[in-house]
Amino acid sequence: MIVNQLRAAVAHCGRWTAVNQLTRTNSDMAEFREVFSKARHIAIITGAGVSAESGVPTIRGAEGRWRTWKTQDLATPGSFWRHPSRVWEFYHYRRELALNAQPSGAHRAIAECEARLSRQGRSLVVITQNIDELHQRAGSKSVLEVHGNQFHTRCVSCGDVEVNHKSPICPSLEGKGSPDPDVPDALIPVKDLPRCDEKGCDGLLRPHVIWFGETLDSHILTKVEKELETCDLCLVVGTSSVVYPAALFGPQVASRGVPVAEFNTKVTPNTPRFRFHFPGRCAETLPVALARHESELI
């Protein structure tokens, strides 16, 4: 099973021979379009690059800083327990960015394609590493969120998970979260941070996302496994292919002999393993790739 292999690979920090096999990558859009026209079940794996085109900075890379800290250092359980006010300021900033952002051309192309293919008895699923709900706001219905959702909260006391789109999420965070390095921490008392509404609980809430050092949701991984095992075309869009285990998804599909197309501004460690690579902004390349094919009747 793919997920079992993924878990084993992460646990042992290894890769399989199949994943290491290289293929001849090309950028022939006409050839891709022919493959696309015959696909019945398409899996699209998306990463931070898709949302970056909507103005949402990536957690990693050159943009991956908030004030004086690396953002990936804030997205950890240890950081939350040591500095809950700081981490909530950071996520308040990220939530507000996403709420004010608009889905990119890539988000919209994926959603339009899913709706169109569903009318033809075909299917498209999005497997995303993003936590910003921009796919759903663009209209995507079938979305698997590998790293959780920043508009869901989880109580650290009772474990209750709730959808939460409040802006701000609590009064004490209003006007807070500026990324300016000269802005000091707000040092909000824990009692004034987001709290659980469950009767008799009032526990501290945290974003319901997968932080660095935490294990992915096994239920989501099982669903991802099914999609990776049954898709007959896979697109890897806007991801640097360095975050595991998601970086293994595309190569594992390719190891089955299924065409995989990568859409990214630059080559990645996995590019040689894929049949197609289309450089450039996803908002420009993906609408062309997923547009209605001349063979489509509906």
Per-residue pLDDT tens digits for 13-30:
333 334 455 666 788 999
- Does the annotation count 277 as an active-site position? no
CA distance 110 to 206: 30
Per-residue pLDDT tens digits for 250-287:
999 999 999 999 999 999 999 999 999 999 999 999 99
In sequence order, which residues have a C-beta less than 8 Å from that of residue 120 and are 6 or more positions away?
296, 297, 298
Annotated binding residue 247: no
Annotated binding residue 93: no
CA distance 168 to 119: 39
pLDDT of 75 higher than 70: yes
Annotated binding residue 59: yes
With contact defined as beta carbons under 8 Å apart, do 213 and 77 qualify? Answer: yes
pLDDT of 158 higher than 50: yes
Instruction: State the pLDDT at residue 64.
Output: 74
Mean pLDDT (the chain, rounded): 90
Annotated binding residue 139: no
What's the gap between Cα 70 and its chain centre?
A: 19
In sequence order, which residues have a C-beta less than 8 Å from that of residue 170 and are 6 or more positions away?
192, 193, 194, 195
Annotated binding residue 94: yes
269 prior amide bond cis, ω within 30: no
- Assign 11 a pLDDT band (cuts: 50, 70, 90): very low
CA distance 164 to 115: 27
Of 92, 135, 147, 208, which is the active-site residue? 147
Place of tokens 């308040």: 92
Instruction: State the pLDDT at residue 298.
Output: 64
pLDDT of 61 higher than 60: no
Annotated binding residue 47: yes
CA distance 92 to 133: 15
Instruction: State the pLDDT at residue 47.
Output: 92
Per-residue pLDDT tens digits for 197-231:
999 999 999 999 999 999 999 999 999 999 999 99
Annotated binding residue 106: no
CA distance 211 to 87: 12
Instruction: State the pLDDT at residue 17.
Output: 36
Residue 162 CB neighbour total at 10 angstroms: 14
Per-residue pLDDT tens digits for 98-129:
999 999 999 999 999 999 999 999 999 999 99
What's the gap between Cα 232 and its chain centre?
A: 21
